[in-house]
Structure 1
Amino acid sequence: MKIFQNDKEERGKTLELIIALDISMGKSYKVLYDGQTCLSEGEILHNKFGFQALLEEIHSLPEEPKIVFESTGIYSKPVETFCQKNNLTYFLLNPLEAKKQLEQGTLRSWKTDKHDAHKLAQIHPFVDRSEKVQQPEIYTELRDLSRFYQEIEGQIKHTRMYLHHALQVSFPELERFFSSRVTPYALTLIELFPHPELVLQTSRTKIKNLLMKTTHKKISENRAMEKAKLIIEYAQESYPAVSPDSVPTQKVQYYARQLLHLLEEKKMVSEQLIVKARQLSEFQLFTSFPGIGEISAALLIGEIGDLSRFSNHKKVNAFIGIDIRRYQSGKYAGQDHINKRGNPKGRKVLYLIVKNMIRQQKAAPNHIVDYYYKLKKQPQAKKDRVATVACMNKLLKCIYSMVRNNTKYEYSYTVSKDQ
């Protein structure tokens, strides 16, 4: 303690009140420090009474303290909301940053709620921490919608796999209905006729009428008749491994219903995403980039947030997690890799956008695609994933510049600049 105090005097810094919290599920361990002196400590619950008691303690102090805590996902969200609602100055540390700070100056592995809270407060005057700046609420809403959309996509992927497994024993030919993508037409038919015997017991006209009546989307009579004819042909050639009343047949109906519901939810959330994103000026800038559609732009804004809070594009790269990790010791030089310490969901969205640009390169000229093929055709051609990550880096740099300068994408300008 004396070492810290002497160091503080040498630095000439004034003492300040610090509240450090070690957060766990439903509660936090709180310490209040004045410089290196602990004034109080104890546990607070994450409910109205716990936060009210904490607020009363803060108001009783001679000056407003600074609050420090580590981000722990959903468990730290109530504390962050408490700070925002009461206009309190707070420092939100990411887990890696907190770990490095807590291990600073010690070789001993010792972790307890009390120890971490005390350590966070004690080292605050001696480390460089950035005060948390709250983004406009619309970015938080977009992030939540983006995460919700991606969760639904994940559920669709898993449910489609389960449906595939069940169909393989009850009516495998039905998978031809959604060989490229899952459609409401196909899922409606699969739910109605999960087994070939059920099809062969029904006339073509009845199948057509059932499809028109039960499908979630409007379908013409001719289209419904074509689908009815097709499913009868599939039923005639099918050789199922189970009976119509088997459990796998029931599973086919269940997963088809689940997929129909998930597709409707995905459509609803995507519409909310786009409507919300259109309120931001950068949405028009993002969509001016060939290969970035409305849903991709909305997802990317949701994951990156307000780009104006970053002082340069390298910080955006670090936030996403595609900055380079380099290791060299003596004569050994390790291969460069990306850090992958940032936002994995944002990284995934960015990766899919670049891949989409490459697939749709004939639609419009795009210097990101030009750069990709330049890397692939060099004397030492880059591997696909390496070239794609390099394009992600270049794309982030480009959209950061577009937002900072409030300019839409122009291929001729970027090409001439690259040359």
Structure 2
Amino acid sequence: MDSLKTVFGIDVSSRKSNVCIMVNGQKVNDYAISNDMVGFNQLLDDLKQVTNPQIIFEATGVYSRRLQAFLDMHDLRYVMMNPLEAKRKTKDDLHQNKTDKLDAMYLAKMQSEHPQRLAYVQSEEYQELMANNRIYEQASHDLITNKNRLHKAIQLTFPEIEHLLANPRGKNYWSIVLKFPHPNIVLETKEADIIDFLKSLSGIGEKRANDLAQRLIRLAKLACPAVKKSSAHIRALKAIKHILSAEETCQTALKEMAKLAPKRDLEILKSIPGIAENTALRIISELGDIRRFNNPNQLNAFVGVDPQVYESGNLTAHLSISKRGTAIGRKVLYLAINQIQSAKKAGNPCHIADYYEKRKRSSETASHKKAAIASIHKLLRTIFALITNDQLYSYDIAKHNQRFLS
């Protein structure tokens, strides 16, 4: 068996995994294992009987992470397929009766007939960077959800309080709303007690506390709430604690990313107009070590912004982007394009912003999204060139350098 091509197709689910073993394209065995040390060691025993086994499985989030960690621990290389890409590559087989056994077999068959590239195992630092960014992403999502929910509740209880501070979004604002969710609570509280509370908040001194207290009382007198202070909507505002917790989680994740990120790569990304430290940290966390890619096209494919190509007979058509990479990575890069555009409007030119505007002008029907996706290609090429050449961004060089403009 050692001289033969042996493929292990593994379909991973929450509690068990189905394994299909193919030798030279022919199935020789299939079985199920538990997703624990007992099951993984059973798989390891079979893998040890083969020279250079090829292992393929889909990236199924938290479920496949345990298998991935086990294989990494034993220095076993593998192919980790994006589920969307795996579905596209196996769609021609038209297996309508979807089962875990069939999924394992089709993965093994695909690797036997059309070998996929082995996954790149990044260092522990980069894995921790990505883990922190995923925590940041989830906390940020929770933050937006809770803020939208609380905004609606405040419109019923005390909408005027949104005019108390110039920036009604920070920790101080939410602490004040939590303390005074209804105008009647303000009016029933002694002014001295209001001032003492405001002074206890970060960055608020004696004079500002007095001014804010007077303003808060005036707003409370103007208010005409839709509900009483005993309403369930008041209790719903206790969810502010979740906002404060999510904000703290985001900040902690960013601090951890700042400790782990390569300082030079961070400096290079921040030199691109519009990309501040938070965005730069998140880009590094999602892209990992840029130097592992041989060219920008590989980087595009990793992110999933490379175009799909459909070929049938003499027809070749370019479809939408493949989306086979990381969705969070695409989201961060899309955000970066918006920030680069804003930076140009503020007087910080960038050839990527120029390219975006050129794409928008070239077609009256071009949407922001299409132009932004095209600009992400340009951004990835720029990031690849800057980091692999260890250079800071220069608008003048970028305008005349064909590596950037191609």
Could you tell me the TM-score, scaled by structure 2's length? 0.89
What's 2:343 paired with?
360
Asked if 1:241 corresponds to 2:226, the answer is: yes
| Contact 1:35 1:122 survives alignment (8 Å) | no
Which residue matches 1:65? 53
User: Residue 175 of structure 1 corresponds to which residue in structure 2?
Assistant: 162
- In the TM superposition, 1:165-244 aligns within 5 A as 165-177=152-164, 180-213=167-200, 215=201, 217-244=202-229
Deviation at 1:46, TM superposition (A): 0.9
Gap runs ≥5 in structure 1:
1-12
Question: Residue in 1 aligned with 2:240?
Answer: 256
What letter is aligned with 1:163? L
Query: What aligned pairs does 1:142-153 form with structure 2 within 5 A after superposition?
Result: 142-153=129-140
Moved more, 298-307 or 27-36: 27-36
- Return closer, same or farther for 1:305/1:257 CA change in 2, 3 Å cut-off: same
Decide whether the 8 Å contact of 2:47 with 2:53 is kept in 1: yes
CA distance in 1, matches of 2:103, 2:176: 58
Match of 1:138 among 125, 141, 148: 125
Kindly state the Cα deviation for residue 250 of structure 1 after the two structures are TM-superposed.
1.8
Say which SS state the counterpart of residue 360 (structure 1) adopts.
helix
1:285 equivalent to 2:268? Answer yes
- Once residues 338 and 181 of structure 1 are traced to their aligned partners in structure 2, the CA distance between those partners, rounded to angstroms, is 38
Q: Is the 8 A contact 1:375 1:381 kept in 2?
A: no
CA distance in 2 between counterparts of 1:201 and 1:69 reads 63
- For residues 40 and 332 of structure 1, the distance between their equivalents in structure 2, rounded to whole angstroms, comes to 40
Partner of 1:320: 303
TM-score for both structures, normalised by structure 1: 0.86
Distance 1:207 1:406, change over 3 A: same
The Cα RMSD (Å) is: 2.9
Structure 2 residue 34 is the aligned partner of structure 1 residue 51: no
1:385 maps to 2:369: yes
Q: Where in structure 2 are the equivalents of 1:323-402 lying within 5 Å?
A: 323-325=306-308, 337-361=320-344, 362-377=346-361, 382-402=366-386
CA distance in 2, matches of 1:327, 1:21: 28
- Please state how far the C-alpha of 1:406 moved relative to its aligned partner: 1.6
Superimposed CA distance per residue, residues 26-83 of structure 1 (whole angstroms, 9 cap, x where no aligned partner): 2111233433555543211011222223223433x26353322222222111111111
Aligned pair partner of 1:406 in 372, 387, 390: 390
Secondary structure at the residue paired with 1:28?
strand
**Alignment-derived partner of residue 125 in structure 1:** 112
Q: In terms of Rg, which structure is larger?
A: 1
- Contact 1:162 1:255 survives alignment (8 Å): no
Stretch of structure 1 that moved more, 228-237 or 117-126: 117-126
Matching residue's letter, 1:172:
P
Identify unmatched segments of 5+ residues in structure 2. Answer: none
Question: Matched residues, percent identical?
Answer: 31
| Counterparts of residues 87-98 of structure 1 (less than 5 Å) | 87-98=75-86
1:129 counterpart SS class: coil
CA deviations over 1:103-135 (Å, ceiling 9, x no partner): 45x445233222332343345332122122201
Aligned residues: 401
